Structure 1
């Protein structure tokens, strides 16, 4: 299987890529939440100057990639591959959004776990010697998600208390082979040290308004598998960060982890809980969408690691693998999660 494998689900890199730069672009509602000060750009126009919600989401990705490249003093032609995805059918926000960049492109779909998937594959490409610089980017948009998965905005439907609010935003990271830059510069950067790839988990839940419950088993599998593969404890991480389980999914996650013999309450953080203010913003169980974990990672999480507040983080975005077709056919909603180990030297 190769010396990079650690146990059944985990790979640790021989040449951990560095995160050269990152950018988070969000909508106005997200900027009004607790993490507002950490985002790069706030888009007050939800249409992003476009003619449709889908095109607006594509513009979010385009803007996030250009911002991340600009912060690294790079151009699109300096990038070997682009790993990108979104929530929409056939990932159309990505396809139309990044087309103008003309970067060799891998389109991905892992629902709200897509940032974990894109980071995993981008890091593998660099560690394997197939690329020197790679961009990972994902996005979501409240209006485009509501249009596809739920109800038109004009319908004014009542949302259940277990439901989450799809984040309008896009997060992008530039990953680079550490050997391409100076040793001094590399030491300042956060590195992707390894990944733990999840399996599709299905507990038979059919409530599309309670996706936290659908995704919690997948998150528990990845976290427990990673700790076992690495022979580590939750305390070995400054934070174990899930994507968008929200308040409902977090409680289920804690119960499932206790069944596995782990107590993660002291180190756990959920992007869906952190991005909105539960008391002042009407988002019910929290935030969700591909952009939720992406913008949280590319702002607050990276900031905490760069200033040395956190040294090691297990980043575990989660996704609910449903579509309009599967839901209308009465199928259950499987979940998936992807774990990424981030570490800061020194």
Structure 2
């Protein structure tokens, strides 16, 4: 299906408006039911802040897509929204009562099976089982990377908006309406939420939002196709678009393994945003720097979409080298407060 820029703009505008309008309502709901994030030594905020902001983002995306449901393949749309709803419910339960990492992972795996049943999966190899395993690893990995990254006001929502903008651009250039529409809706909902989430914040998205956004970004990466280039090149493009959360998660895992603590159940101020603060940036500046890095990753991914095999793998090797040096520099010069 060809991509109509007018339709895409209307989808973006619809999600933006619904997110802006619904976020204050969700904030009141979170206060009424007592879903509040309390400050502690491991967090940067000093006052209680309502959670559940992700519910407004979810609503903005889902309602917008349902309005345009006659433009999509029903099976794919149902699978995406069904899987997203599963991870949102898990996130809400975690925001209210706290779930173990294993239960949240189980919810993500179930959501992956919904996608796979509908034919939405990685298609790199001849073996469907191997493709299914990679799909589960990708969706769970990106979902948790965005969840990890949600540690400063506006960070996860802003970086998701940046990544969605580049997924939108790539989808339009390659004539993919579903990816373009989902990207536009996600970008609009995130920007609308930022109206209430950037410094000074009035509400947090919580796991409800971060797990949902990670799931959607993973789906966008799976669905994006490049008919004019080879799959041995294009499989790297979603990874590069999502380079900042992937780098952040990799650095946190390395740092915590070096300290001989569990990388996933040990919260701490050792993320990329915290490292920039340790180097002298304000929290707002740290978030804006991460946005700029996200833009850089998106531009690099756009270049990669036009590269031949030799150029692509040379660029990939360069990016891996930069990431490795970056982790070493952060570990050496950007001190952080280990959890107590």
TM-score over 0.5 (shorter chain): no
The structure where strand makes up a greater share of residues is 1
TM-score, scaled relative to structure 1: 0.30
The structure where helix makes up a greater share of residues is 2
